[in-house]
Structure 1
């Protein structure tokens, strides 16, 4: 019985680590999307300005 209990603790710990990793990943993806969108708009604005002055 104690063997199953110790394995259960390991399983719960690994599941917790997995959930933390998923949360961190989603946070990183969200931040990347914000920065990438900002970069896209900045480059689009630059392109429009260059076309205006040609």
Structure 2
């Protein structure tokens, strides 16, 4: 049996579950990143359903 070690999620400064217009969110990836910067976040994780279409724009 294998044991998998998982990293602890960041304690602050990150939103690690965001959706964009490519899924069921309301913002484009570009707007999402801009809002995160304005709030002083270190980063976001795009968790759109069944697609990675917004990743390039967010990068």
Output the TM-score relative to the length of structure 1: 0.25
> Greater share of strand residues, 1 or 2?
2
The normalised TM-score by structure 2 is 0.23
Q: Which has the higher helix share?
A: 1
**Higher RCO, Cα 8 Å, sep 6+:** 2
